Amino acid sequence: MSNSSPLRRTAKRFLNDAQLEQLVYRRRQIETPMLRLRTRRAADLDALACLHGTDKSSYQHGYTCLYKTHFASRRPTVRRLLEIGVGGITSQRGYETTEGGQSLRMWRDYFPNAEIVGIDIHAKAVSGPHLHFEQGDQSDPVFLRALIDKYRPFDIVIDDGSHIGSHITASFVTLWSAVTPGGMYVIEDLSLAYDPRYGGPPGTPGTAPELIKAAVDDTLLRENDPFRPSIAAMHIYGKIAFFEKAK
């Protein structure tokens, strides 16, 4: 049941968030044996997302289709991935608990040669082979620089953190330098950008869209000025943006 499917749209009219979450959970439990079989046969990112319970799957946001488009060819070469935001009891609630790591486990299983690093402002009990967790604020440049010193470089950075515009900008400004040439930087859930709780209406300084608009200028101007920020390409979708670093 994808986020945009007729069935989900109908369900949202009659069920609250907790009931929808329970419905997704029950469906995942029923389909788990088939999901495990799909992940054994091939590198099926959406099956991994559904299996681990991240909201990136086709059950909810549907980001896995886009991630597959941009990441499938990179699977063997990705050595380090950083994700901002570790989640909670589920990918949508319970953030203040020590639970989380749904998408981190998905990435670990999808990228066979990668170390996966997750950061969150809350302490998380996330551990295991090729999984690393650091507690800190994504808007704190001191914390981020220490993270860079410890783990750099990153082939992929994914911002699924607070979704607050100023935090998104702070993370990008500090972490972009640590992305490998040819690497990717992704910002999720941009549909929240104009919500006053996350940044403000269109035209508000410091929002995620303002960051993207400035990056468009830098991308276009870079062609004739090698000293501009090294964004080779941008891919903007309804709720998610991909920045590709120049080689």
Beta bridge partners of 243: 185, 234
In angstroms, the CA 247 to CA 244 distance is 9
Token readout for 154 is 């990153």
Contact criterion met (CB below 8 Å) for 134 and 104: no
Q: Which residues of 176-190 are buried (b: 16+ CB within 10 A; e: fewer)?
A: bebbbeebbbbbbbb
Specify whether 163 is catalytic.
yes
Active-site choice (132, 163, 167, 235): 163
**Residue listed under structure tokens 């995942």:** 28
In angstroms, the CA 116 to CA 108 distance is 6
Quick count: other Cβ atoms within 10 Å of Cβ 40? 9
Indicate which residues carry an active-site annotation: 163
